[in-house]
Homo-oligomer: A and B are copies of this chain.
Amino acid sequence: MVMAERVVAPSRRRLTRDDWADAALAAIADGGLAAVAVEPLAVRLGATKGSFYWHFANREALLDAALARWEERSTTAVIREIAAASDDPRDQLRLLFIRVIDAAERDSIGPALLSAASHPVVAPVLARVTKARIGVIVALFERLGFAPDKARSRALLAYSTYLGHGQLAHSTPGLLPRTNEERRAYLDHALHVLTN
């Protein structure tokens, strides 16, 4: 696919910390954590390491900044949208699944970070995001009438299923339902199984 395409716009614009952080996220999305390398990123941004080491102490600092941005986006954003869309927990759960599943298929930062879960910089971020997400789901199940412990079990199950689905979609998409109709039926079935 597309390789490092240099910014054609001869924008001699100066770069910011956030420019680098976003570039890092883009690199993670299509190449994993290992693709966050200073020199290739510099090429991609039409700059050099000189710029980078002005804005960041080292590669790890870049990762920190990038992951912080991702964490922000991954917690507040979706949660707000869900809350705004409906009041019915059933609808919310459905919407959550839809949103979150196709987010995972379109934008692969999440999966890429899961692939690097043991990395010392990634681990705490991932832990916080996971905890927040599961918390939301637990609350939904409780509002659906499940007792707290059952709600927690179901939420873990649901979140595990989501994670696993992402893995399958990523590693062996051929085994999953392909047409939109099949996908909808599968989703309905999944929600039915998980909520009954």
Once A189-B150, A193-B193, A193-B194 are accepted as A-B contacts, the answer to whether A156 and B168 lie under 8 Å apart by CB is yes
Please report the total number of A residues contacting B with Cβ < 8 Å.
Answer: 40
- Asked if A58 is an interface residue, CB under 8 A from chain B, the answer is no
Asked if residues B156 and A175 are in contact (CB atoms below 8 Å), the reply is: yes
- Asked if A164 is an interface residue, CB under 8 A from chain B, the answer is yes
Within 8 A of B (CB), among A143-158: 150, 153-154, 156-157
Q: Which residue of B lies closest to A108 (CB)?
A: B118
Residues of B within 8 A of A157 (CB): 161, 189-190, 193
Asked if residues A130 and B175 are in contact (CB atoms below 8 Å), the reply is: yes
- Asked if A176 is an interface residue, CB under 8 A from chain B, the answer is yes
Q: How many whole Å from A95's CB to the nearest CB in chain B?
A: 19
Q: How many whole Å from A178's CB to the nearest CB in chain B?
A: 12
A147 and B97 CA atoms in complex are apart in Å by 25
Q: Which residue of B lies closest to A128 (CB)?
A: B172
- Asked if A127 is an interface residue, CB under 8 A from chain B, the answer is yes
Asked if residues A118 and B159 are in contact (CB atoms below 8 Å), the reply is: no
Given contacts A153-B189, A157-B193, 16 further A-B contacts (CB under 8 A): A118-B170, A126-B171, A126-B172, A127-B172, A127-B174, A134-B175, A150-B189, A154-B193, A156-B175, A156-B176, A157-B161, A157-B189, A159-B164, A160-B161, A160-B168, A164-B165
Binding site for B on A (CB under 8 A): 32, 34, 114-118, 123, 126-127, 130-131, 134, 150, 153-154, 156-157, 159-168, 170-172, 174-176, 185-186, 189-190, 193-194
